[in-house]
Chain A
Amino acid sequence: GDSVTQMEGPVTLSEEAFLTINCTYTATGYPSLFWYVQYPGEGLQLLLKATKADDKGSNKGFEATYRKETTSFHLEKGSVQVSDSAVYFCALTRYNNNDMRFGAGTRLTVKP
Chain B
Amino acid sequence: SAVISQKPSRDICQRGTSLTIQCQVDSQVTMMFWYRQQPGQSLTLIATANQGSEATYESGFVIDKFPISRPNLTFSTLTVSNMSPEDSSIYLCSFRGRDWTEAFFGQGTRLTVV
Chain A contact residues, CB within 8 Å of chain B: 32, 34, 36, 41-46, 49, 51, 89, 91, 93, 95-96, 98-100, 102-105
Contact = CB atoms under 8 A, between A and B. Distances in A.
B45 A99 contact: yes
Interface in B48-76: 48, 56, 58
Interface of B: 4, 6, 9, 31, 33, 41-43, 45, 48, 56, 58, 92, 94, 100-108
Looking at chain B's contact residues, the main secondary structure is strand
Nearest to B102: A46
Contacts of B41: 104-105
A32 B101 contact: yes
Nearest to A93: B101
Contacts of A45: 105
A89 B54 CA distance: 30
A105 B101 contact: no
Given A43-B105, A44-B105, A45-B105, A103 B42 contact: yes
B101 A51 contact: yes
